[in-house]
Amino acid sequence: MSGSKTIVHLLRHGEVHNPDGILYGRIPGFGLSDLGREMALAAAEELAGRDIVHVGASPLQRAQETAEPIAASHQLDTATYDGLIEAANSFEGKRVGVGDGALGHPRYWWRLRDPFKPSWGEPYIEIARRVLAAVETARVAAEGCEAVLVSHQLPIWTARRFAERKRLWHDPRNRECSLASLTSFVYEGADIVRIDYAEPAAHLLLKSESARRAKGA
């Protein structure tokens, strides 16, 4: 294992404006909320002093908007990576909340027959492969420096589990990939030597949660 140190940061987009609470998936037109824009700025501030030479993003609006302040602060253009797009999901466009969504209707239960693949959407292995292909492209583009790729929770988490040689099926409640979080692949040459994790927008999430609780009190 030898070569220059390169870091590829996988950044999850910020909060999305979604007043109807649907699973928006790949549906176009879902951009950041006001809070989401604050989160994007928090991530940009976290990365402001880093040697970022390449910025890329999923083609979806929320990812492109999250990438904007980072690209601007480093005077870079944002490359669009189709491989970073959200996972395909057959529940897209539906509400899937516990007790009030599509998961409560028996006619949809057949889609849940195989959680290991999963049967309701894009296979985990395909997600991992396309995201890691994008990461490799970014690593080469930023060799010896750093790159930022903006993607989505499931693709980022699946790529991380694959890189860590962990099983790809998992409990979604246990994902370590909060809004505007950074999952950073650290390379020596072409080899991953560690994966770091940070939440530059954690204070905004706490502030938002406190406001929601106060409103509901």
For the chain, the domains span 5-216
Q: pTM of the prediction? A: 0.90
Residue 214, Cβ neighbours under 10 Å: how many? Answer: 8
**Residue 96's pLDDT band (boundaries 50, 70, 90)?**
confident
End-to-end Cα spacing for the chain:
56
Does the structure show a pLDDT above 80 at 177?
A: yes
Q: Are 45 and 67 in contact (CB under 8 A)?
A: no
| pLDDT at residue number 1 | 45
User: Mean of the per-residue pLDDT values for the chain?
Assistant: 90
**Residue 167's pLDDT band (boundaries 50, 70, 90)?**
very high
Rounded mean pLDDT, 33-39: 97
Q: What angle do CA 157, 142, 203 make, to 5 degrees?
A: 45
What type of residue is 4? S
CATH of the structural domain 5-216, one choice from 3.40.50.300, 3.30.450.20, 1.10.3210.10, 3.40.50.1240: 3.40.50.1240
Residue 156's alpha-carbon distances to 69, 76, 214, in angstroms, are 20, 23, 32
| pLDDT at residue number 109 | 61
Rounded mean pLDDT, 187-198: 97
**Residue 192's pLDDT band (boundaries 50, 70, 90)?**
very high
Residue 17, Cβ neighbours under 10 Å: how many? Answer: 15
Does the structure show a pLDDT above 50 at 112?
A: yes
Q: Are 56 and 134 in contact (CB under 8 A)?
A: yes
Instruction: Give percent above pLDDT 90 in the chain.
Output: 74
| pLDDT at residue number 208 | 72
**Residue 110's pLDDT band (boundaries 50, 70, 90)?**
low
Cα 27 to Cα 192: distance, rounded to the nearest angstrom: 33
**Residue 44's pLDDT band (boundaries 50, 70, 90)?**
very high
pLDDT tens, position by position, 141-151: 999 999 999 99
